Structure 1
Amino acid sequence: MVTVADVALQVGIIVGYLLVALAIGVVAYRLTERTAEDYYLASRTLGTVVLLFTTFATLLSAFTFFGGPNASAANGPEWILVMGVMDGVIFAVLWYVIGYKQWLVGQHEGYVTLGEMLGDRFGSTALRITVAVISVFWLFPYVMLQQQGAGTALKALTDGAIPYWVGAGGITLFMIGYVALAGMRGVAWTDTLQGLFMLVMVWVAFGWVLVSIGGPVTATSRLAETNPEFLKLGGGAYSPAYIVSTAVSIAFGVTMFPQVNQRFFVAKSEAVLKRTFALWPVLVVLLFVPAFMLGAWAAGYGISPADGNVLPLLLNEFTPGWFAALVVAGAMAAMMSSSDSMLLSGSSYMTRDIYRQVAERASQRREDLIARVGVAVFATLSFVASLFQPGTLVEIGETAFGGFAQLALPVIVALYWPGTTRKGMLAGVLGSQAFYLASVFLSVVPSSYLGGWSASIVGMVLGLVLTVTVSLATAAAPEENASRFSDLQAIDAD
């Protein structure tokens, strides 16, 4: 049972995290130039450790503590294959295939967003706005779900003393102030601390639980008695088609998430970028193996997702209350570390790719101001949506990885094939999105094919085919400029 002292500790840790984040934000603000590039990309100066851990914390925070262990407890530890190994490796490869080329283009052309890069290459405002609208559409519910999660967690943490709307609203106000103040530099520094904290806490929890249980052999034997199917590779829900479909959709989707995709622009050198994607699979495995195994072992002790989030329940069972409180409060902080990056990226897409296209050209300082206002607008709209907890937005959030994944193959084609045309890009992007949305919201369109292959994978293939075939069938417009993506050399590589 959670005591008053545990609640006080959890609230104290969250407040402490907010104060540390605010202090980092103040320092970052003092070092930030009043330009959009510095605000959104920290003037492309991030080093290996900061780039690695800001990507790590932005992507993996809340899922590590809640979603992943819950999935392992429900269906078995093969989630390590889906996320820990397959996505770690696939995303690292995509980081090179997409991220390195994007970094080179950004170095030469000064792009800040994916839509800006594609719109300039194909001379198309329509393509730029389309990519931005699609990205904001899939990102918006993700921010809302983070606020919803924070409000719900704070309400439960204080046994209702802090109402849902006060918790979600308070966290939203803090994020608005912090992100508007700190920009990418402050967000990245805070993420680095949060990523290190996550890694250390998961391994301490792993060791503590195993010592309390009697070791990995005892834990696995217990699981074999209660859930023997969990020890059979590919059993139950984990068909080969499911594993590969899920891993590919998530990995390709992650590369197009605005808060991740923009990090492809921010490395200070070629060496930093290459070191980062080489270290990524190692870091992912180090995080997911202990987290997911704890979730699987919890099933052996009768702890299931139906009872709540598995990892906190397991820690309450086998570790002191203060330690479980520390981990749960850390998870709350981790949730906020994801939200701040989403707000920053969402603001950049709204400001540069949508607002800038309809407004008169503004000065750097005015655009910097609009960027900070954009954070407030984006956060406020998602907070209002979170108050109603709409089922449709929740459904969008759950399928967002697949939605973002539809952008990936047309982008790869555009980066590497000079023959790609504007009409080909629009056909590939819009066609795959239309198919995937239909599979999500229309019952007449199947959500899986040929024994378990997801609609996301089918949509990705459709997008690739449309991009290539329509490009072959059409001529490039005079304003398209394929040279922007070719014959690039790294600037100031070390």
Structure 2
Amino acid sequence: MSALLEIGIVAAYMVVALAVGAVAYRVTDQTAEDYYLAGRGLGTGVLLFTTFATLLSAFTFFGGPNTAFSSGPEWILVMGLMDGVLFGLLWYLLGYRQWLLGRARGYVTLGEMLGDRFGSKTLRGLVAAVSIFWLFPYVMLQQVGAGTALEALTNGTVPYWAGAGFITLFMIAYVVLSGMRGVAWTDTLQGVFMLSMVWLAFAWIASALAAEPGGIGAAMPAEFRALGGGVYSPQWMLSQAIGIAFGVTMFPQVNQRFFVGKSEKVLKRTFALWPVLVVLLFVPAFLLGSWAQGVGLAMPDGGNILPVLLAEYTPGWFAALLVAGALAAMMSSSDSMLLSGASYFTRDLYRPFVNADASETYENKLGRIGVVVFASATFVASLFTPGTLVSIGETAFGGFAQLALPVGVALYWRNTTRSGMLAGIGGSQLFYLLTVFGPTVYVGGVPVFADAYWGWLPSVVGMAIGLVLTVGVSAVTAQATSEDASVYFEAAD
């Protein structure tokens, strides 16, 4: 019953998504800008919820409650408050300026924006290559999660490879058909649905706990009632918050949404509402994980605590509805990643390095082909789930975060040079990659590439290195004749 209902919900979601995609296709121009950015015409509600749904993934509904179950609810401060507020501020400081430049200069990708300012195909290609490197395994992990979930729902009737393949084919068909407009419309429905379901689950379980001896207060373990302790050191919490917020800002599927707002008013309303929306989602989700610990539920081996809690306190049909919605949330994240990955390939690799004179219509077709290739490649990788790719995906937030400060310097400092940008982006990426994947190197008995530096995570240390390199190298190098700071400062002033 439960499995059939979950599969039915997922199937219904797919039917609705394809229907929305068909409508979006009918009103989408055959240009790259309209396909990738929905004609830069999204309103407040759609922009807010498409960004919201794009960031929803398996972590929101499974990983977050799992963390709260094992370590305590302080994770709310990292995801719900710190990242809600930090990302809202970054949307204002970086996203708003990108929107101004995109509207004035027609930029579609971050690499295109930087390449134009610094007159550099190399910089444009570097940003695209770094972005695709971190994005590829992240898409793969969503396919792994979807395939595993479908296999579990059907008790193995649908094997992992078939489930992951089916989800991949659906996403290819939908994204190729609809582009950003259809993705944004479906994301809006998905975001509203998931926010409603999380609060219904919270209210349902809170009501059940309130009727038990000791009430809701007894459901919170005593060791979880005080801030700090365990993994929650100030440096660890701030490192996580900074790395995730700055990483989200540079995620291609999120960063491109900085370009799509219909007006300045829409953009300002959206980033002002963002922290509220994030808190509304993460507070109930993470409290549910903490309550599961307090009532003595057991985490299944290799499983998640939220389905166990739902099975204990809610009817089977409701638990099935929420879990199926979480599966759909994975797809709503993946479709945006496929679209942005294809745009980085066509705009920042194919156009500057292969065919600079490609027409908008041809690029539109190439982008759709790019979606097919990107999705197919990640599906093949998901069948093997190599450990290296999994590690890359798990550390992707930190990898993307290394781009943020050099980009911020370029947006606000006229004296930034091409050499400074290449040094800042290249140097911080190299440091972070060596920290995550390289051997331990000691200088004077001190590890150069360590897991933590005085409690701070490598992602934050790498960001500081990138900032110092960008500013320092720019200060001692001259701008090349092909660089033109006016394309930023005249358009944005």
Question: Match for 2:436 among 429, 435, 440?
Answer: 440
Distance 2:492 2:372 in 1: 38
Q: Distance in 2 between matches of 1:403 and 1:419?
A: 26
In the alignment, the residues of structure 2 paired with residue 61 and residue 439 of structure 1 have an alpha-carbon distance, to the nearest angstrom, of 26
1:424 is aligned to 2:432: no
Contact persistence 1:220–1:297 (CA under 8 A)? no
**Cα distance in structure 2, aligned partners of 1:222 and 1:301:** 6
Match of 1:398 among 394, 398, 402: 394
2:443 is aligned to none
Pick the aligned partner of 1:487 from 483, 487, 490: 490
Matches of 1:433 and 1:64 in 2, distance apart?
Answer: 27
CA contact (8 A) 1:61 1:198 kept: no
Alignment of 1:286-365 (within 5 A): 286-307=280-301, 308-360=303-355, 361-365=357-361
The residue aligned with 1:458 is 461
Q: Does 1:86 align with 2:89?
A: no
Contact kept in structure 1, 2:219 and 2:292, CA below 8 Å: no
Equivalent residue number for residue 167 of structure 2: 171
Structure 1: any 5+ residue segments left out of the alignment?
A: none
8 Å Cα contact 2:338/2:375 also seen in 1: yes
Q: In the alignment, is the contact (CA less than 8 A) between 1:74 and 1:304 conserved in 2?
A: no
* Range that drifts further, 212-221 or 156-165: 212-221
SS in 2 for 1:179: helix
Conservation of the 8 A alpha-carbon contact between 2:24 and 2:181: yes
Contact between 1:258 and 1:345, CA under 8 Å: does it hold in 2? yes
Task: Deviation per CA, 1:397-452: give whole Å up to 9, x if none.
Answer: 110000000000000000000100000000000000000001101241202001x1
Task: Please give the alpha-carbon distance, in whole angstroms, between the structure 2 residues aligned to 1:24 and 1:340.
Answer: 14
Once the two structures are superposed, what CA deviation does each residue of 1:280-324 show, in whole Å capped at 9, x if it has no partner? 000001111111100111111223545421111100010000100
Partner secondary structure for residue 236 of structure 1: coil
Q: Which amino acid aligns with 1:485?
A: Y
Which residue of the partner structure matches residue 120 of structure 1?
116
1:248 aligns with 2:252: no
Quote the residue 1:278 is aligned against.
272
Superposed, 1:36-51 pairs within 5 Å as 36-51=32-47
**Could you tell me which residue of structure 2 aligns to residue 143 of structure 1?**
139
TM-score (norm 2): 0.96
DSSP-derived class of the 1:439 partner: helix
- Contact in 2 for aligned 1:77/1:292 (Cα 8 Å): yes
- Give 1:235 deviation, angstroms: 1.5
1:234 Cα deviation after fit: 1.1
Shift in alpha-carbon separation, 1:304–1:51, aligned structure 2, 3 A: farther
Q: Deviations over 1:83-123 (max 9, x none)?
A: 00000000000000000000000011000000000011000
Q: Is the 2:51–2:257 contact (alpha carbons within 8 Å) kept by the matching residues of 1?
A: yes
Contact (CA 8 Å) 1:419, 1:471: kept in 2 or not? yes
Offset of 1:357 from its aligned partner? 2.1
Query: Partners of 1:475 and 1:54 in 2: how far apart?
Result: 41
Shift of 1:484: 1.0
Instruction: Give me the whole-angstrom Cα distance separating, in 2, the residues matched to 1:62 and 1:92.
Output: 22
- Identity fraction in percent: 67
Aligned-partner Cα distance in 2 for 1:46–1:266:
6
Indicate the residue corresponding to 1:470 in structure 2: 473
Once the 2 structures are TM-superposed, how far is the Cα of residue 74 of structure 1 from its aligned partner? Answer: 1.0
1:144 alignment partner, SS class: helix
Tell me the distance in 2 between the aligned counterparts of 1:91 and 1:335.
Answer: 21
TM-score under structure 1 normalisation? 0.96
Which one of 220, 240, 246 corresponds to residue 223 of structure 1? 220
CA distance in 2, matches of 1:489, 1:433: 28
Look up the equivalent residue of 2:351 and give its one-letter code: R
Pairing 1:209-220 to 2, within 5 Å after superposition = 209-214=205-210, 218-220=215-217
2:138 is paired with a residue whose SS is helix
Aligned length: 482
| SS at structure 2 position matched to 1:449 | coil
